[in-house]
Chain A
Amino acid sequence: MGTCSRLATMLDADMLGRHGTPIAPPGTPDVDLQRNYSKTGNRVSWELGGRYLVRYLTVSQVTYFAKGNETKRDELLKKENYVTPTPYSPEEAVAWLALPSPHELRYYALFLKPEIIPEIWGPRWVRMGGGIEYIVPQIPPDAMVDIGTSPGTRWPLLVT
């Protein structure tokens, strides 16, 4: 199976560079990212050329987005979430985003509309990884893209 994670990451870094957006070094703590790289979601949407942010999910987290599980879903969305602009296969995501539990492949993803999110920190190179990430302090439910997979679970997309 071929991969294109390096190509995808390179094009995203190039896109940010062409928009004059610096990428914070991997040794930038979250608090410094908040202090020096905080921006509006509208600004992030612009520097990404209008693209979505991607938040990968484990299989068990997909159930959080089923009808009736809104409490668990909202708890997750209220936490600080690391997201990326770059599409990766489940296997590539582990290495490029330096994910724990590498055997728990992230087969699903949420798409997020940055322009709906009030505040986003980043971008930053992933430490011990190589990908690009942002931090979203809080995800408004309206920021999730409804991909219409089924009436019960409208948001998670199977990564293929």
Chain B
Amino acid sequence: MLAFDKIKGPQKYEDFGQGERHGSYEWTWWKKDGGFARFVTVSRTSQSSSCQVEVWIGADDGRGFVRHLVAHFDAVDTERPDEEPLKSQLQQAVYEGEERAAKLTPADLTPKQVFTVTTEKPSRIKAIGGPPT
């Protein structure tokens, strides 16, 4: 399986998390600027004998967000000696993503479909009891 372990994250970004996101393995870095967070993500989506490797960037301030695809590669889904060129291209795409993410501003965000969520506990919740310990 194509490994990400030799890919370096963007400079001055911190690790946000990595895991299986509904069919894709994803590795995300982030940089917080007040309430405005920038993200750079590398993902691998396996197919039968190949995989798609992508670099995404975006930003989110809790009220709006934006997401852009920076690079897409089709690769063999295995660890092979000839994958070194792909890693190099991928690393370059991560740095390109960092540059593009740095240019994102709050004006680029699309407002989320915000709604109010109640915090009161209606009586029917009491009827099923409190939370288990």
Task: Kindly list chain A residues whose C-beta atoms are within 8 Å of the C-beta of B46.
Answer: 58, 60-61
Q: Are A98 and B19 in contact (CB under 8 A)?
A: no
CB-CB nearest in chain A for B44: A100
Please count how many residues in chain A sit with their CB below 8 Å of the partner chain's CB atoms: 48
Q: Are B118 and A82 in contact (CB under 8 A)?
A: no
Q: Are B16 and A30 in contact (CB under 8 A)?
A: yes
Q: Are B37 and A97 in contact (CB under 8 A)?
A: no
Task: Kindly list chain B residues whose C-beta atoms are within 8 Å of the C-beta of A117.
Answer: none
Q: Are B62 and A125 in contact (CB under 8 A)?
A: yes
Instruction: Answer yes or no: A67 CB below 8 A from chain B CBs.
Output: no
Task: Name which of B4-12, B47-55, B81-89, B90-98 contacts chain A.
Answer: B47-55
Q: A29-B30, A101-B45 are in contact. Are A135 and B23 (CB under 8 A)?
A: no
Q: Give which listed residue, B48, B62, B121, contacts A60 with CB less than 8 A.
A: B48
Q: Are B16 and A29 in contact (CB under 8 A)?
A: yes
Mask of B50-71 contacts with A, CB within 8 angstroms, 1/0: 0010101011101001110000
Task: Kindly list chain A residues whose C-beta atoms are within 8 Å of the C-beta of B100.
Answer: none
Task: Kindly list chain B residues whose C-beta atoms are within 8 Å of the C-beta of A14.
Answer: 117-118
Within 8 A of B (CB), among A12-53: 13-14, 16-20, 23, 25-27, 29-31, 33, 40, 42-43, 46-47, 49
Q: A26-B37, A42-B132, A43-B131 are in contact. Are A82 and B120 (CB under 8 A)?
A: no
Q: Give which listed residue, A20, A27, A40, contacts B62 with CB less than 8 A.
A: A27
Task: Kindly list chain A residues whose C-beta atoms are within 8 Å of the C-beta of B22.
Answer: 55-57, 82, 93, 97, 99, 106
CB-CB nearest in chain A for B132: A42
CB-CB nearest in chain A for B49: A60
Instruction: Provide the bound-state CA to CA distance between A20 and B125, in Å.
Output: 10
Instruction: Provide the bound-state CA to CA distance between A11 and B59, in Å.
Output: 25
Task: Kindly list chain B residues whose C-beta atoms are within 8 Å of the C-beta of A82.
Answer: 19-22
Task: Kindly list chain A residues whose C-beta atoms are within 8 Å of the C-beta of B15.
Answer: 29, 31
Mask of A90-105 contacts with B, CB within 8 angstroms, 1/0: 0001000111110010
Q: A29-B15, A98-B67 are in contact. Are A43 and B132 (CB under 8 A)?
A: yes
Instruction: Provide the bound-state CA to CA distance between A42 and B125, in Å.
Output: 16
Q: Which residues of B are in contact with A by a Cβ distance under 8 Å?
A: 14-26, 28, 30, 32, 35, 37, 39, 41, 43, 45-48, 52, 54, 56, 58-60, 62, 65-67, 112-113, 115, 117-122, 125, 128, 131-133
Task: Please list 5 pairs of residues, one from A and one from B, whose beta carbons are closer than 8 Å in the complex, sorted by A's number.
Answer: A46-B131, A61-B46, A101-B45, A106-B23, A130-B65
